[in-house]
Amino acid sequence: LDDGRNRPTAALTAWMRLHSLIERPRPRRFDSVNILLAYDGSDPAEAALDLAVAQFDPDHLTALYVFDPDGAASDDPEEPARERADEILPAVRERVGDRVEVETVHAVGDPTDEVVAYAETNDIDHVVLGSHGRRGMSRLLVGSVAEAVVRGSPVPVTVVR
């Protein structure tokens, strides 16, 4: 295993380098975990909420509902956005209980842009969101908010289906 001068051989050195490259990183626990949950009340969003609390054990969870004004009947989308947020966001607090400090916020705009902007401008460690799992033509037509958030987010993102 050595070349006679107490140095590893080239083969052993190569093996050690390869071994160090394929070792799996150890999971780490942040001192304080702040999770941003993109929440719209759908089944995938509920699954994302459950995973966020169970997997990340956050100290603080921000549930963000984004109202997309495209196709809105009103000229002022803030009113329906607030109404829908008031309708669905209390479910997050009810579901989590006192285990986690929960903040609920809503925004009006493109869901991808709003989620990424919130993660950029706030102290967020991780984004968690649900995906409807559309494939094929419907994904091409509707697009994937989850994919766009993954590409644009400044922090790690977990997508739940």
CA dist 49 and 160 (Å) reads 9
Task: Say what the pLDDT of residue 26 is.
Answer: 45
Over residues 74-118, the pLDDT tens digits come to: 678 888 899 999 999 999 999 998 889 999 999 999 999 999 999
- Are 62 and 103 in contact by the 8 Å Cβ rule? The answer is yes
- Are 62 and 34 in contact by the 8 Å Cβ rule? The answer is yes
Q: Which of 28-42, 62-76, 89-103, 128-142 has the lowest mean pLDDT?
A: 128-142
Task: Say what the pLDDT of residue 6 is.
Answer: 59
- Are 92 and 102 in contact by the 8 Å Cβ rule? The answer is yes
Q: Which of 40, 39, 66 is nearest to 52 (CA)?
A: 39
Task: Say what the pLDDT of residue 121 is.
Answer: 96
Residue listed under structure tokens 């929960």: 102
| Alpha-carbon distances of 148 from 32, 114, 116, rounded to whole Å | 26, 11, 9
CA dist 81 and 74 (Å) reads 10
Residue listed under structure tokens 């919130």: 118
Q: Give the pLDDT band of residue 139 (cuts 50, 70, 90).
A: very low
- Are 129 and 114 in contact by the 8 Å Cβ rule? The answer is no
Q: How many CB atoms sit inside 10 A of residue 116's CB?
A: 22
